[in-house]
Amino acid sequence: MTTLTVSRKRYLPILATLVMLVGAFGFGSARYDGFADSQVVLNLLIDNAFLLVVAAGMTFVILSGGIDLSVGSVVALSTLVSAKLLGHGWPAPVVILVVLVIGASLGLGMGAVIHFFELQPFVVTLAGMFLARGLCYTISVESISITNPFFTYVAQTPISLPGGTHVSIGVVIALVVVAVGVYVLHYTRFGRTVYAVGGSEQSAMLMGLPVGRTKIQIYAVSGFCSALGGLLLAFYTLSGNPLHAIGMELDAIAAVVIGGTVLTGGSGYLLGTVLGVTVLGVIQTLITFDGTLSSWWTRIVIGALLFLFIVLQRLVTRRTR
């Protein structure tokens, strides 16, 4: 099988995602009045900006052949730390910096444990998930409202677009994160090493690549993105809550896999993750417009899609060998 054929087959999952997105959106537009309204489309980004940032960090992890189950708990912890510190009168910029440092440090710590003790990422990040969620409940068992003027301004200030539409500041931040992530993955040595580690860690070591350092940095990136996603969720809800983001780690993984990134690592694109998050948003919007279906149908559909794309990935990887 030629290299060109293999390269083309790698695009099959992301093409399937694009076709599914267009089909789902077309179905919604034909069935529901107002579904194709410009603001409805932009609301997909507004409502999922925090998930997009978290999924961007998860993309780095899965591309390297790893997994991070702690992201949802770190998101919740970030909202609570923000709310608690703001409630004690800390300046908003300092709070934001502290939250980002906490998230990156947690990711760095998990990456170090995974590398130096040669443990499975699943086990280590599962421990990180319980640790971060437990810390949430030590801070507060109830929701804490955020009344800080800066957070309120960010939450309530729309960015106007042509046609009377708007997006939130959180959307702009999420898109900047995606743009930076695309650049890092495709135009830096670190990004190329991420792909190499995911393709074959042993081969990457034989080529003299800094495998250990890269793995640690990858989890630091995921922790940073989780903390930033938590800040965006705090902007979105103006609250910190220990129950925030329960199951978000699974949503992030689903978005990455549906976006075409192979679970075993080494193949995938961050722009595919954007499509994956958009697919999840369209599914939620379809159920909302229907009005007769339980919100649990979102989980059912996502589960079915995840299963479908895992099978598709398996078929593609078998034929490219």
Task: Calculate ∠ Cα 273-279-284, nearest 5°.
Answer: 130
DSSP state of 242: T
Tell me how long the chain is. Answer: 321
- Does pTM top 0.75 for this prediction? yes
Distances (CA, A) of 168 to 122, 165, 175, 229, 247: 34, 11, 11, 14, 24
- Tokens 């994160």, residue located: 177
Please write the tens of the pLDDT for every residue from 7-63.
Answer: 566 677 788 889 989 999 999 999 999 998 999 999 999 999 999 999 999 999 999
- Which domains, and CATH codes, for the chain? 12-319 (1.10.3470)
Please write the tens of the pLDDT for every residue from 106-136.
Answer: 999 999 999 999 999 999 999 999 999 999 9
- Tokens 């792909």, residue located: 195
Can you tell me the distance from the alpha carbon of 29 to that of 281, in angstroms, rounded to the nearest whole number? 14
Under 8 Å between Cβ of 145 and 239 = yes
Please write the tens of the pLDDT for every residue from 193-212.
Answer: 999 999 999 999 999 999 99
